A and B are shown apart, each in its own frame.
Chain A
Amino acid sequence: MRVAVLKGGSSLERQVSLRSAARVEDALASLGHEVAPIDADSDLVRSLKELRPDVAFIALHGPGGEDGTPQELLEILGVPYTGPGVAACIRCMDKVLAKHLLREAGVPTPDWVAFNSTAFRELGAADALEEIEARLGYPLVVKPAAQGSSLGVRFAASRDGVPEALVSALSYDDRVLLERHVPGRELAVSVLDGDPLPIVEARPKEEDRFNYEARYEIGRTEYICPADLPDDVAADVRDAASRTYSALGCTGFARVDLMLDTDGRPDVLEANAIPGLTDTSLFPMAADAAGIGFEELVSRIIELAVERRGAAEASRT
């Protein structure tokens, strides 16, 4: 098949995307596919129209890549593409929307409050910080609503740290959420075609918690896969991940990030529509633990994309 690999783009996660794509391109080539790498710039649509690929492998991360934008363009061009569809991408990229949907579906997610910058600038939202801290407590986590890879995520240990954390988070997006901090273990469950893969536990060095660089530098964070968990806890974690995948309407794959609180209960933080595929990424690591090598994973992802397109066409006729 002729496979277009969409990569790069102008998001802050460009470098990660290029690394994901490089690995995918190698795998596709050794699977015998015709590989056409495309840097996602203003010529994207023209390139796709000229190339007429059988399928597009989306190796883009962050806003402009996994927020439904290239997915929408591929829909209109009639090119099957990998990963979740437009609506699921929108739901995953917007952490606030995702948390509402999770809560409605009964999936546990840490309590939160979300504002846009207008609420602070024009509606005096800062006056509500007393109520917010009464409800969420310290430390609290401040995040931009739409950004991957923990960019702009800050901890506020006390009231003093809140304004600075808000200013940082609001540099990445006009909307931020303040979230209750869940102490416990960091887990990631990748879901492939609805089935949860083995659970990965991330053990960052204490000073590197939620550090963007630490996530992509080999050796900065220790990963354990499969995570060492009692069977019943592992079952609960996989169940939370599957329900998250369904609640957000994902297809193909997604990676669900959770905290396991000190009582052994999972709390879902977010879902990533296009998880990283670099050699330090968790999705390929989990697949590997399930006996699915990288080439086989890429091959499955392509098949799922083509099947989904086929199913969509069948339902339309």
Chain B
Amino acid sequence: MTRIAQESAAEALQYGPTEGFDETKAAVRMVMEAEGMSPEPEDIIVTTGGQQALDLIAKTLVDPGDVVVCEAPTYPGAVPVFCSYEAETHQVPMDDDGMRVDQLEELCERLASEGRKPKFIYSVPSFQNPAGVTLSLERRRRLVELAHMREILVIEDNPYGLLRYEGEAQAPLYQLDGGDYVIYVGTLSKILSPGIRIGWAVAPPPVMEKIALGKQATDLCTSTLSQYFALEYFGEGRWRDYIGSLREIYRSRRDAMLEALDRHFPPQATWTRPHGGLFVWATLPDYIDTSDLLAKALRENVAFVPGAAAYVDGRRGSNSMRLNFSASTADEIREGVRRIGAVLSEQVQLYETITSEHRLPQPAQREPSGDVVPFRAPRGEA
């Protein structure tokens, strides 16, 4: 930072090109090459975080009433984006292998019979936020095929792809597609710093033109100062090592969380076992509302994200929660999960006391309220 102040203050404090500096685009290419992609520099636009990329894409493509498809649950930050452009958002369930592409096909078919077509399909295929699951290679292929066959754009949001802790890397949708129908969104938030607000989009030229126009209207260009910081970082050449050390740290934190969940969560709960990323998604008995449970957890000084935020209707997912294992130490994670487990067990026992030992009948089994049908048994297989 001192070096930028001394050597590049004049440039770093000026406006820059709307689509970002060539050097920043080269850094973006380097990051994407690490996952097997090599986009053309003119297809890249540097944005103020991946969030802006998502907003600009939606702004460019969505008219009120247009259909947009995303996962259930979806990235909570995408919900206000789709809502603000008045999209009709459909959410497709997931399982351990990510989005149920078969159900996506059914949805597209149903829409086609009404003469409608989604403007795009939004997916976080690797270590999804919030569910933690990863789209299998087979489904990735089918999704890309579907996009080609039906001529539907796919937005691949990939903030966590480089943060894999076990298993084989999966080819990004962008790579499988070759950049025809897949618009790629990336970010430095998870591999450098969220505060620097650097993200990007890669899109085919006709879409890119409109995104650039939108970017001009929104903020002219991404902070040049931030781009200089990012370039300085990539110039040092240690970014791969840094990601390597993040992987080590996050892997041990994930392991601590999964162990703690096994130990402290009641048997009525299930959760995902992510191979990378930052999140575990837990599903609780359907009589537990995690927004209410959060009130109880906060009194124990521990928090989680209630699942309803990941649903456009704000209602489904009310019995699920997102747990983030990236930002706390392994000991803090163990203690936090212990506390959440304790308040949860208390509520489960209370419910059972009220229903089973006494005269009240167990309410009739309802339709599952969350769409991620998780996943696997909480104990045993790892």
Is chain A's interface secondary structure helix, strand, loop, or mixed overall?
helix
Given the known inter-chain contacts A12-B298, A172-B295, please indicate yes or no for A166 contacting B360, CB distance below 8 A: no
Interface presence of A316 (CB below 8 A): no
Set of chain B residues within 8 Å of A36, measured between Cβ atoms: none
* Contacts across chains A and B counted by CB atoms under 8 Å: 71
Set of chain B residues within 8 Å of A121, measured between Cβ atoms: 349-350, 353
Residue of A nearest to B296 (CB): A171
* Cα distance, A10 to B292, chains bound together (Å): 16
Given the known inter-chain contacts A120-B353, A164-B287, please indicate yes or no for A159 contacting B296, CB distance below 8 A: no
Set of chain A residues within 8 Å of B97, measured between Cβ atoms: none
CB distance from B190 to the nearest CB of A (A): 27
Whether the Cβ atoms of A129 and B360 lie closer than 8 Å is yes
Set of chain B residues within 8 Å of A169, measured between Cβ atoms: 292
List B315-353 residues whose CB lies under 8 Å from chain A: 343, 347, 349-351, 353
**Which of A162, A163, A172 is B292 in contact with, Cβ under 8 Å?**
A172
Residue of A nearest to B352 (CB): A163
* Cα distance, A159 to B354, chains bound together (Å): 11
**Which of B295, B343, B350, B361 is A166 in contact with, Cβ under 8 Å?**
B350
Given the known inter-chain contacts A127-B358, A167-B287, A168-B292, please indicate yes or no for A120 contacting B350, CB distance below 8 A: yes
Whether the Cβ atoms of A151 and B295 lie closer than 8 Å is yes
Given the known inter-chain contacts A126-B353, A167-B350, please indicate yes or no for A172 contacting B296, CB distance below 8 A: yes
Whether the Cβ atoms of B289 and A168 lie closer than 8 Å is yes
* Cα distance, A160 to B292, chains bound together (Å): 19
Given the known inter-chain contacts A120-B353, A162-B360, please indicate yes or no for A167 contacting B295, CB distance below 8 A: no
Given the known inter-chain contacts A127-B358, A152-B295, A160-B361, please indicate yes or no for A117 contacting B289, CB distance below 8 A: no
Interface presence of B355 (CB below 8 A): yes
Whether the Cβ atoms of A167 and B288 lie closer than 8 Å is yes
Residue of A nearest to B363 (CB): A160
Residue with the highest number of chain A CB atoms closer than 10 Å, among B289, B296, B354, B359: B354
Whether the Cβ atoms of A164 and B295 lie closer than 8 Å is no
CB distance from A134 to the nearest CB of B (A): 13
* Cα distance, A163 to B353, chains bound together (Å): 9
* Cα distance, A129 to B359, chains bound together (Å): 8
Residue of B nearest to A212 (CB): B291
* A interface footprint on B66-96 (CB within 8 Å = 1, 0 otherwise): 0000000000000000000000000000000
List A145-170 residues whose CB lies under 8 Å from chain B: 151-152, 159-164, 166-170
Interface presence of A130 (CB below 8 A): yes
B binding-site residues for A, Cβ under 8 Å = 287-289, 292-293, 295-296, 298, 343, 347, 349-351, 353-355, 357-361, 363-364
Instruction: Pick 29 A–B contacts, CB within 8 A, sort by A.
Output: A10-B298, A12-B295, A117-B350, A120-B353, A121-B350, A121-B353, A124-B358, A126-B353, A126-B354, A126-B358, A126-B360, A127-B359, A130-B359, A151-B295, A152-B292, A160-B363, A161-B363, A162-B354, A163-B287, A163-B355, A167-B288, A167-B289, A167-B350, A168-B292, A169-B292, A171-B289, A171-B292, A172-B292, A172-B296
